[in-house]
DNA sequence: GCTATTACGCAACCTACTTGCGAAATACAA
DNA sequence: TTGTATTTCGCAAGTAGGTTGCGTAATAGC
């Protein structure tokens, strides 16, 4: 019920049809016109028009070479040209920079990880991010012009204008137009987003919560924050601050910066390790910790009624120490005949970069397909395997 | 990106245009074709076609009688015929039955309230609801056939099939097709919904949270539950159980049925009254209670990041005893440079019926306008005033 | 080289919206 | 009373984008 003229809406239909054909080719492989007609339910002339538009944009290639068997005129086969464009998902955190580069078809063509301290200077840090993205492009042998979009996950609150508002990690980026500067350097739009939200989205789209529309993701590291995906959509909140659980939300001892206080050890990981080794102090502290987390998990579960709760961060591998007790607590205290399941992250440290990548696909959709709400492609490795590692060793936080 | 043929989509455009004209007439009063052309941005023939469709359905009337001044051919004036259909919002609770009846234009034509115990028998209770709705129709002098939709708020969990799953209030309705039975009796679709969710929606659309897209509503009575409106949409949850805060979510002493335990008085209302009168026990208990509520409010605020928090129920008038301390707690404990505001319900006991009415408008939209996502009309009284009482005495819970 | 088969590509048609204009109905002035 | 200005009406013609349908091209197999 918008106010646009009809001309717009009608041509929106054309765009939608074109996009439908493009997505079919992207997600189900090359196809002849006849097959597309069949698959999309559109008519032949419409499909032909769509293909000719797409071919003009370079997004599909139509070649005759097809090992067709059987009688009949050989079909003209259209193929989605993923390499027409690339998008990057970037995770800039204290531990370093991660970049995942994928083409429009979802083939992951580079995945790099630069460990170690980032430059302390705001500008130098921007340059480091640029260098990391460029390095990924170089590794994948992708001309820089082909990069269509880069999306960056950082810790902190991102304002509507895309600048950081509050960030403990990179305080000197607050108010700075990091995205704009990188856009100028890279020649394509670059946007920032909150890291935990991206990780949540990644787990929902690619990780532990695939096929589930409602989930809460908890990232437990030195702090605890959450990300919500509700009805398949990332919840941002009216200040883009949903999930920023402060001091008072978590029933776990925190210091004044919101970091979890450990007495028996210097980190959650260490405390859990000691508890596993039988250290009594650590065991008690871990138990209190788990109860505190369970508390918050339960309140949010009851308020939000998700299908699934995913725990990320270094502790997510601690099944019997964390995930199992949480599951029990949630199932036990449920006053209703159902309870959400608690599960460990599947993407591990890569979740933020994958989330950024998946948002990058969303954000380039309008310019690539002329339509938004385009589902991202399935991610594949160059060798054809699943781009998401089987639950392996990518959990070194 | 659905699979429907194009024929469908194209005619969807026609429907949308027709709906646009209808809504313009509904919300901005009678207008000539020329004015509609101007207002909708559509072309004259399109508007004419829409009006002729609408006139055929009886949804608009075109009469020439118009006190037009000035030169020129007098315009044919089209007027939205609200009385073409009626919808009802019903609140069936322990305290009785409330019905609000409105026509399609949003004119509230009846509003009745049957206080007192409902029949203990499941079927008799259904009959009582039917009788209440019929009574509203009779009072408003509306032929029963004109009732297009009735939506009913009840306490309890409603399943996807519209039947109650768990209801402490009306346990004998669990699994019973209450909506279907009423539909058969009334000759129009009748659906059930959770009362607190409806109240939340009502406050967002008509009450304390108008113009706000993200809000959390807490209904504090003998129990505490919540309703969430996120991004302007009612949050249901994957089991339609969002907001069903159980024992463990609320840091307030509860009995085994989830009812708030009061030692200094027999109800929250009484405890607050005594505290206001200076009773020391009550004051202490009220303080603990408020702190417990604040606790939950804060966790949910931080997780969800709403604009506004609305408190409903008998305590919502206790500004200085409840609302003010909550506001302070939320503002104080915020770790971020903003905090949601806490505000009292505006609709009071009517919130559930108003919520039901507002959903009834939504649910009849498809069949009336051929389009969903039609905003509900502004509610008006027959005399033209605002149908929502100015914060008056409708708070006798 | 003939036939069966299959996909192609275009012509004709349909739906629904737009632009544009002559005609109708009024107010007002001569 | 009649003419003119004004405003809206209602239809005719045009456009965009889709669909159906059919003649034709290109191949495999006999």
Evaluate if residue A25 carries a pLDDT over 70.
yes
Q: A223 or A3, which is more confident?
A: A223
Distance A42 CA to D18 C1' (A): 9
Average pLDDT, chain A: 89
Query: ∠A284-A287-A289 over CA atoms, to 5°?
Result: 110
Q: Do B240 and A305 touch (CB under 8 A)?
A: yes
Tokens 């969903």 — which residue?
Answer: B372
Q: Which bases along strand C come within 7 Å of a protein CB atom?
A: 4-12, 15-21, 23-28
pLDDT tens string A251-281: 888 887 778 888 888 888 888 889 888 888 8
3-state secondary structure of A341: strand
> Are the beta carbons of B262 and B270 closer than 8 angstroms?
yes
Mean pLDDT of B239-268: 84
A48 touches strand C (CB under 7 A): yes
Beta-bridged to residue A86, according to DSSP, are: A103, A147
> Are the beta carbons of B251 and A350 closer than 8 angstroms?
no
In chain B, residues with a C-beta closer than 8 Å to the C-beta of A302 are 241, 243-246, 248-249
In this complex, the nucleotide whose C1' atom is nearest to the CA atom of residue B68 is C26
Q: Residue B86 has which token pair?
A: 């009626």
In chain B, residues with a C-beta closer than 8 Å to the C-beta of A233 are 231
Least reliable range by pLDDT among A26-40, A332-346, A381-395, B286-300: A381-395
Looking at the complex, does the CB of residue B296 fall below 8 Å from at least one CB of chain A? yes
User: Which pLDDT value is given to residue A374?
Assistant: 95
Query: ∠B276-B279-B282 over CA atoms, to 5°?
Result: 85
Say which residues have a Cβ less than 8 Å from residue B174's Cβ, sequence separation at least 6.
B156, B163, B164, B165, B166, B167
**Distance (Å, whole) CA B353 – CA B362:** 14
User: Which pLDDT value is given to residue B4?
Assistant: 34
Where are the strands (E) in B39-161, listed by range?
Answer: 60-63, 77-80, 86-93, 96-103, 107-115, 147-154, 157-158
Say which residues have a Cβ less than 8 Å from residue B255's Cβ, sequence separation at least 6.
B261
CA B218 to each of CA A143, B201, B215, B268: distance values in angstroms, whole numbers, following the listed order: 55, 12, 10, 15
Distance B75 CA to C24 C1' (A): 12
Q: How confident is the model at residue A2 (pLDDT cuts 50, 70, 90)?
A: very low
> Are the beta carbons of A77 and A32 closer than 8 angstroms?
yes
Q: Do A302 and B374 touch (CB under 8 A)?
A: no
The B residues from 250 to 279 touching A (CB cutoff 8 Å) are: 258
> Are the beta carbons of B242 and B236 closer than 8 angstroms?
yes
User: Which pLDDT value is given to residue A54?
Assistant: 93
**Distance (Å, whole) CA B357 – CA B100:** 7
A5 touches strand D (CB under 7 A): no
C-alpha torsion angle, residues A206, A212, A213, A218 (rounded to 10): -70
Q: How confident is the model at residue A64 (pLDDT cuts 50, 70, 90)?
A: low
pLDDT tens string A142-162: 999 999 999 999 999 999 999
Closest residue (CA to C1') to nucleotide C19 in the complex: B43
3-state secondary structure of B20: helix
B34 touches strand C (CB under 7 A): no
DSSP state of A122: H
Residue A280: CB atoms within 10 Å: 10
3-state secondary structure of A237: coil
B13 touches strand C (CB under 7 A): yes
Evaluate if residue B246 carries a pLDDT over 90.
no
Tally helices (H) and strands (E) across chain A. Answer: 10, 16
CA A169 to each of CA A125, A142, A200, A222, B3: distance values in angstroms, whole numbers, following the listed order: 12, 31, 19, 12, 46
User: Which pLDDT value is given to residue B3?
Assistant: 32
Looking at the complex, does the CB of residue A165 fall below 8 Å from at least one CB of chain B? yes
Chain A closest-CA separation from residue B333 CA (Å): 7
B64 touches strand D (CB under 7 A): no
pLDDT tens string A209-230: 999 999 999 999 888 999 999 9
B324: left (phi over 0), alpha (psi -120 to 50) or beta: alpha
Mean pLDDT of B105-113: 94
User: Which pLDDT value is given to residue A48?
Assistant: 93
Evaluate if residue B234 carries a pLDDT over 90.
yes
Query: ∠B320-B326-B331 over CA atoms, to 5°?
Result: 120
Query: ∠B123-B124-B127 over CA atoms, to 5°?
Result: 90
In this complex, the nucleotide whose C1' atom is nearest to the CA atom of residue B14 is C16
Chain A CA closest to residue B165: A337
Q: Do A298 and B248 touch (CB under 8 A)?
A: yes
Evaluate if residue B1 carries a pLDDT over 50.
no
CA-nearest of B244, B198, B378 to A306 is B244
Chain A CA closest to residue B307: A238
B263-268: long-range pairs with CB below 8 Å, 24+: B267/B222, B268/B220, B268/B221, B268/B222, B268/B313, B268/B314, B268/B315
**Distance (Å, whole) CA A378 – CA A388:** 10
Q: How confident is the model at residue B7 (pLDDT cuts 50, 70, 90)?
A: very low
CA-nearest of A55, A160, A68, A176 to A125 is A176
Which of A157, A238, A303 is facing B249, going by the closest CB pair? Answer: A303
**Distance (Å, whole) CA B308 – CA B186:** 38
Chain A closest-CA separation from residue B352 CA (Å): 19
Q: Do A338 and B239 touch (CB under 8 A)?
A: yes
Q: What backbone phi and psi angles, to 5 degrees, belong to B349?
A: -60, -20
Q: Do B337 and A166 touch (CB under 8 A)?
A: yes
Q: How confident is the model at residue B8 (pLDDT cuts 50, 70, 90)?
A: very low
3-state secondary structure of A76: coil
Chain B CA closest to residue A16: B1
Q: Is the dihedral of CA A315, A318, A322, A326 positive or negative?
A: positive
User: Which pLDDT value is given to residue A9?
Assistant: 55
Query: ∠A204-A207-A211 over CA atoms, to 5°?
Result: 50
Mean pLDDT of A78-101: 95
Q: What percent of chain B has pLDDT over 90?
A: 63
Q: What percentage of chain B's residues is helix, strand, coil (to nearest 5)?
A: 45, 20, 35
**Distance (Å, whole) CA B87 – CA A318:** 54
Evaluate if residue B68 carries a pLDDT over 70.
no
Looking at the complex, does the CB of residue A13 fall below 8 Å from at least one CB of chain B? yes
Evaluate if residue B72 carries a pLDDT over 90.
no
Q: Do A336 and B244 touch (CB under 8 A)?
A: yes
CA B311 to each of CA B219, B239, B304, B396: distance values in angstroms, whole numbers, following the listed order: 6, 24, 16, 15
B257 touches strand C (CB under 7 A): no
Residue ranges of alpha helices (H) inside chain A are 6-28, 33-40, 44-57, 122-140, 178-186, 195-205, 268-276, 280-304, 324-333, 351-369
Q: How confident is the model at residue B193 (pLDDT cuts 50, 70, 90)?
A: very high
Evaluate if residue B194 carries a pLDDT over 90.
yes
**Distance (Å, whole) CA A325 – CA A311:** 12
Chain A CA closest to residue B218: A303
Evaluate if residue A5 carries a pLDDT over 80.
no
Least reliable range by pLDDT among A18-32, A369-383, B247-261, B268-282: B247-261
pLDDT tens string B333-345: 767 778 899 999 9
Average pLDDT, chain B: 89
Please provide the DSSP assignment of A257-291 as one string: TSPBP-SSSSSHHHHHHHHHTT-HHHHHHHHHHHH
Mean pLDDT of B30-50: 92
Q: Which bases along strand D come within 7 Å of a protein CB atom?
A: 5-13, 16-21, 25-29
Chain A CA closest to residue B239: A305
3-state secondary structure of A124: helix
Evaluate if residue B168 carries a pLDDT over 80.
yes
Evaluate if residue B37 carries a pLDDT over 90.
yes
Chain A closest-CA separation from residue B31 CA (Å): 18
Distance B12 CA to D19 C1' (A): 17
Q: What percent of chain B has pLDDT over 70?
A: 93
> Are the beta carbons of A235 and A373 closer than 8 angstroms?
no
User: Which pLDDT value is given to residue A278?
Assistant: 87
Looking at the complex, does the CB of residue A211 fall below 8 Å from at least one CB of chain B? no
- The highest-confidence range among A313-327, B169-183, B312-326, by mean pLDDT, is B169-183
Looking at the complex, does the CB of residue B373 fall below 8 Å from at least one CB of chain A? yes
3-state secondary structure of A74: coil
User: Which pLDDT value is given to residue A4?
Assistant: 35
> Are the beta carbons of A121 and A395 closer than 8 angstroms?
no
A2 touches strand C (CB under 7 A): no
């Amino acid at each position: 019920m918008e106010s646009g003229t009809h001309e717009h809406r009608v041509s929106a239909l054309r765009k939608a049809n074109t996009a439908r054909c493009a997505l079919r080719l992207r997600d189900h492989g090359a196809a002849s016109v006849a097959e597309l007609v069949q698959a999309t339910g559109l008519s032949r002339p419409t499909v032909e028009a769509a293909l000719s538009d797409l071919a003009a944009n370079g997004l599909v290639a139509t070649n005759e070479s097809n090992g067709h068997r059987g009688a009949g005129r050989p079909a003209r086969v259209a193929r989605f040209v993923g390499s027409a464009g690339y998008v990057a998902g970037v995770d800039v955190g204290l531990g370093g920079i991660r970049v995942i580069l994928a083409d429009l078809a979802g083939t992951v063509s580079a995945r790099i990880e630069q460990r170690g301290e980032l430059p302390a200077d705001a500008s130098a840090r921007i340059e480091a991010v640029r260098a990391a993205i460029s390095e990924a492009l170089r590794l994948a042998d992708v001309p820089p012009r082909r990069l269509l979009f880069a999306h960056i996950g950082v810790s902190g609150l991102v304002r509507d204008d895309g600048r950081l508002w509050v960030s403990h990690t990179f305080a000197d980026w607050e108010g700075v137009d990091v995205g704009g500067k990188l856009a100028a350097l890279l020649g394509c739009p670059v946007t920032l987003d909150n890291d935990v939200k991206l990780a949540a989205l990644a787990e929902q789209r690619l990780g532990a919560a695939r096929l589930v529309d409602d989930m809460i993701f908890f990232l437990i590291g030195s702090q605890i924050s959450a990300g919500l995906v509700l009805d398949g959509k990332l919840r941002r909140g009216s200040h883009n601050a949903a999930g920023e659980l402060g001091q008072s939300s978590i029933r776990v001892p925190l210091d004044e910066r919101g970091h979890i206080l450990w007495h028996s050890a210097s980190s959650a990981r260490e405390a859990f390790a000691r508890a596993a080794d039988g250290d009594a102090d650590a065991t008690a502290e871990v138990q209190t910790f788990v109860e505190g987390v369970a508390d918050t998990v339960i309140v949010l579960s009851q308020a939000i009624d998700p299908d699934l709760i995913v725990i990320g961060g270094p502790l997510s591998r601690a099944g019997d120490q964390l995930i199992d007790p949480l599951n029990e607590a949630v199932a036990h205290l449920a006053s209703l005949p159902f309870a959400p399941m608690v599960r460990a992250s599947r993407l591990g440290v890569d979740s933020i970069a994958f989330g950024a990548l998946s948002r990058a696909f969303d954000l380039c959709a309008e310019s690539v397909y002329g339509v938004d709400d385009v589902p991202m492609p399935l991610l594949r490795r160059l060798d054809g395997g699943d781009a998401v590692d089987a639950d392996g060793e990518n959990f070194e936080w």
